[in-house]
Amino acid sequence: MTAQRSMYNFEGMAQKEKGEAILVRNKKAFHDYTILQTLEAGISLLGTEVKSVKGGNVVLKDGYCFIRNGEVFLRNVHIGTYPYAHGMNHDPVRERKLLLHKSEIRKLNAKIKEKGLTLVPLQVYQKYGKVKIEIGLVRGKRLYDKKEDIKKRDMSRDLKQNYRTSNLSGGLK
């Protein structure tokens, strides 16, 4: 008997079984900062905000997190208004509370007090029907660090392309 190939993508199915779906990613943060540590946090949202976030109507570009009175808040993240809310809408740029354990907040607070570290939102995703946010403890990159990263990315892309072309031409001989 011969084994039949399955038509299903098991990686994609595993992704759906876990219940995770990335809604928005902060590309600017990955370019401007060196990410030292990441954390998953819940986010306190209103009903219209949840609908809007699940629709992907979020801008993380200029957002950052801060700690006040032992609680973590998210600022400058724009969650667009939900068009079907009929006047019962939310303020798009209000501060939102992040849900973390006290021990995590204490550790983050100690690290933030180090020079040059801050908290920025990296991505918003849905996990088992709940909206979660991944925040990162980051340090700002210098211009020469950014150029070095671009150079490494270009070199790896060229190597991959050369490898592909050499394999294709090697098989035709």
Q: Tokens 């925040």 appear where?
A: 135
Give pLDDT, residue 18. 60
In the chain (173 residues long), the average pLDDT of successive 10-residue segments reads: 39 49 87 88 86 86 90 90 79 87 91 86 90 90 78 86 75 50
pLDDT at 159: 86
What pTM, to 2 d.p., does this model score? 0.70
Q: What is the pLDDT of residue 71?
A: 92
Tell me: the pLDDT tens digits for 97-117?
999 999 999 999 888 887 778
The pLDDT value recorded for residue 171 is 52
- Give the integer Cα–Cα distance in Å for 63 and 101: 21
Q: Please tell me what DSSP assigns to residue 136.
A: E
Could you give the CA distance from residue 71 to residue 2 in angstroms, rounded to a whole number?
60
